[in-house]
């Protein structure tokens, strides 16, 4: 299934049905009077966070969601049928934005959460409501209220406890595949990862979710490379794991590049999050070069965890460092041994 994290849709609630102008006509009833019924109410447009979805791809093929209008009233004071509601089924973590893409209408962070996006129009009154002592035969009824039509944006922000950030080929996807059952694509060219991946990792009888996003480069906030829009998927994380390639010419400069992009993302959303720094691919370095690269990185980043996804050196230590930054209510009990081999799906 293709991954899509941004979609524009048009919604419209149903219009109310018109009221009816009708009079009672029965044999031997000379003055029957008005008996026009009210129109039915228009359907609402709802959004609901459901389980089993991890992409907005369905909204690429259907962008219009129109609720049914109410039926008009009838004689004998019969009220018209209400219009059917319509529900947009979205993944947990979807943010619903107004047409300006800035105003947040709702943030669907909990399974089963429902939000009313557009209320249906009220049905019009039939002429039975206008009968008075001086107007025994009113020929007046109200039209139904119009529905609400608007364009909205759906933006998916994955629900994860920790997020991986770094330059392309810093080893983010390799780290995820080595510590979880996720199997992201791993290759030796930049931007191998084109869409986010999630994986569940376990350490010390606790489990948490890690999100891997496409790599950042200098100027990503200006649209270079794949841009920085994917950083939205780590906004909800409690901690970021900053991976730096230990085989790079200047690890300190690479670290600073990512820090600058996190700051440029705006609002301190990511720049102020707790970060754990790890130097990857240390299995490819001899002892002297490894020490030199780690010392250079620690001068700007503070404590650094040397890790290798190939030899699995340091993986447990860095996972414990991440776990210590995640509150207990976000952690889950580690699955039993017979369930550990089952792949996790968001």
Q: For residue 298, with 0-12 CB atoms within 10 Å meaning exposed, 13-18 middle and 19 or more buried, which class applies?
A: middle
What are the residues facing 18 on neighbouring strands? Answer: none
Arithmetic mean of pLDDT, 191-195: 77
pLDDT of 342 reads: 41
Give the model's confidence band at 346: pLDDT under 50 very low, under 70 low, under 90 confident, else very high: very low
38 is known to lie in a ligand binding site: no
Give the model's confidence band at 1: pLDDT under 50 very low, under 70 low, under 90 confident, else very high: very low
pLDDT of 2 reads: 61
Rg (CA), the chain: 29
213 is known to lie in a ligand binding site: yes
Give the model's confidence band at 184: pLDDT under 50 very low, under 70 low, under 90 confident, else very high: confident
**Mean per-residue pLDDT of the chain:** 88
Give the model's confidence band at 267: pLDDT under 50 very low, under 70 low, under 90 confident, else very high: low
193 is known to lie in a ligand binding site: yes
Set out the domains of the chain in order of their start, with CATH numbers: 1-156 (2.70.210.12), 162-339 (3.40.50.300)
Arithmetic mean of pLDDT, 3-31: 90
171 is known to lie in a ligand binding site: yes
Distance CA 35, CA 38 (A): 10
Beta-strand pair 206-212/149-156: unpaired
Q: What token pair was written down for 3?
A: 């991954």
167 is known to lie in a ligand binding site: yes
47 is known to lie in a ligand binding site: no
Is the pLDDT at 158 greater than 90? The verdict is no
pLDDT of 45 reads: 97
55 is known to lie in a ligand binding site: no
Arithmetic mean of pLDDT, 195-205: 84
173 is known to lie in a ligand binding site: yes
For residues 190-223, b (16+ Cβ closer than 10 Å) or e, as one string?
eebbebbbbbbbbbeebbbbbbbbbbbbbebbee
Distance CA 26, CA 53 (A): 58
135 is known to lie in a ligand binding site: no
131 is known to lie in a ligand binding site: no
pLDDT of 228 reads: 79
pLDDT of 206 reads: 85
Q: Which residues contact 21 (CB under 8 A, 6 or more apart)?
A: 34, 36, 126, 127, 139, 140, 141
Arithmetic mean of pLDDT, 17-29: 90
233 is known to lie in a ligand binding site: no
Is the pLDDT at 105 greater than 70? The verdict is yes
pLDDT of 334 reads: 63
281 is known to lie in a ligand binding site: yes
Among the residue ranges 51-55, 220-224, 300-304, the one predicted with the least confidence is: 220-224
Is the pLDDT at 174 greater than 50? The verdict is yes
Tell me how far CA of residue 290 lies from CA of 112, 167, 286, 307, in angstroms: 50, 19, 6, 11
Whether the CB-CB separation of 195 and 175 falls below 8 Å is answered with no
211 is known to lie in a ligand binding site: no
pLDDT of 336 reads: 52
Is the pLDDT at 84 greater than 90? The verdict is yes
Distance CA 49, CA 154 (A): 12
195 is known to lie in a ligand binding site: yes
What percentage of the chain carries pLDDT values higher than 70?
95
Arithmetic mean of pLDDT, 63-80: 95
Give the model's confidence band at 87: pLDDT under 50 very low, under 70 low, under 90 confident, else very high: very high
pLDDT of 65 reads: 96
308 is known to lie in a ligand binding site: yes
pLDDT of 327 reads: 83
Query: Model confidence over 305-335: pLDDT tens digits?
Result: 999 988 999 999 999 999 988 887 777 766 5
137 is known to lie in a ligand binding site: no
216 is known to lie in a ligand binding site: no
Is the pLDDT at 340 greater than 60? The verdict is no
> Where would I find the beta strands (DSSP E) of 69-143?
86-91, 94-97, 104-108, 114-118
pLDDT of 90 reads: 94
- DSSP letter string over 141-173? -PPPPPP-EEEEEEEE----SEEEE-STTSSHH
168 is known to lie in a ligand binding site: yes
339 is known to lie in a ligand binding site: no
334 is known to lie in a ligand binding site: no
pLDDT of 341 reads: 46
């Amino acid at each position: 299934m293709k991954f899509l994290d941004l979609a524009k849709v048009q919604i419209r609630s149903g219009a109310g049905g018109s009221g009816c102008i009708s009079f009672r006509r029965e044999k031997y009833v000379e003055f029957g009077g008005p008996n026009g019924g009210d129109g039915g109410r228009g359907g609402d447009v709802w959004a609901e966070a459901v389980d089993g979805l991890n992409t907005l791809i369905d909204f690429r093929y259907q962008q219009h969601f129109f609720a049914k209008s109410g039926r008009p009233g009838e004689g004998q004071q019969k009220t018209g049928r209400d219009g059917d509601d319509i529900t947009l089924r979205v993944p947990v973590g979807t943010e619903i934005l107004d047409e300006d893409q800035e105003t947040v209408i709702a943030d669907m962070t909990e399974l089963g959460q429902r939000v009313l996006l557009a209320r249906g129009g009220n049905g019009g009154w039939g002429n039975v409501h206008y009968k008075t002592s001086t107007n025994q035969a009113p020929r007046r009824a109200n039209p139904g209220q119009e529905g609400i039509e608007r364009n909205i944006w759906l933006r998916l922000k994955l629900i994860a406890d920790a997020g991986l950030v770094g330059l392309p080929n810093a080893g983010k996807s390799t780290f995820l595949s080595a510590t979880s059952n996720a199997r992201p694509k791993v290759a030796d060219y930049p931007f191998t990862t084109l869409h986010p991946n999630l994986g569940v990792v376990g350490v010390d009888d606790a489990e948490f979710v890690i999100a891997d996003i496409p790599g950042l480069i200098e100027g990503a906030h200006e649209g270079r490379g794949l841009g920085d829009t994917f950083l939205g998927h780590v906004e909800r994380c409690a901690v970021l794991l900053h991976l730096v390639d230990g085989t790079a010419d200047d690890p300190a400069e690479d670290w600073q590049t990512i820090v600058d992009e996190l700051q440029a993302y705006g609002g301190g959303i990511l720049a102020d999050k707790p970060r754990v720094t790890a130097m990857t691919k240390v299995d490819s370095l001899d002892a002297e070069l490894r020490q030199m690269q780690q010392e250079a990185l620690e001068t700007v980043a503070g404590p650094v965890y040397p890790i290798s996804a190939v030899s699995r050196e340091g993986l447990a230590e860095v996972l414990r460092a991440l776990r210590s930054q995640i509150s207990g209510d976000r952690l889950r009990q580690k699955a039993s041994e017979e369930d550990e081999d089952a792949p996790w799906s968001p």
